[in-house]
Amino acid sequence: MPQNIHRGIKALLEEANAEIETLSAVEAIKASQSGDIVIVDIRDPREIERDGRIPGAFSCTRGMLEFWIDPASPYAKPIFQQDKKFVFHCAGGMRSALAAKTAQDMGLKPVAHIAGGFAAWREAGGPTEGYEPKKKT
């Protein structure tokens, strides 16, 4: 029997976008120069390896987000305890909208996401770099 999904991805994205701040790629590029924000890349490591990354962005896969944000979690990351603005991005802007909403719902603030994600950042002329995965020793 097929599942009956009551709140699909369209509704979830509409809810997220209604509640979070969305930056254009141009706005995000300008904001990144201030030093007052942390750009959080929630893409999968394979995407980053394939497509490159925003220099200085903190990589946090979507699956670990809640665990890395919560200071009570055994997986908490100190970067999320900073008094900065957290700007999330993914490849195209959908996962980052959901991630920003989740982070905001958890109490992380201020947060935003980049409309159009990494693709929009790159198209707007934002700096990018290749990604070198860490060598296992």
- Spell out the domains of the chain, with CATH numbers in brackets: 21-123 (3.40.250.10)
Whether the model clears a pTM of 0.85, i.e. scores above it, the answer is yes
DSSP string, the chain: -----SS-HHHHHHHHHHHSEEE-HHHHHHHHTSSSEEEEE-S-HHHHHHH-B-TTPEE--GGGHHHHH-TTSTT--GGGGSSSEEEEE-SSSHHHHHHHHHHHHHT--SEEEETTHHHHHHHTT---B---PPPP-
Per-residue pLDDT of the chain (137 residues), as tens digits, is 788 888 999 999 999 999 999 999 999 999 999 889 999 999 999 999 999 999 999 999 999 999 999 999 999 999 999 999 999 999 999 999 999 999 999 999 999 999 999 999 999 999 999 966 666 66
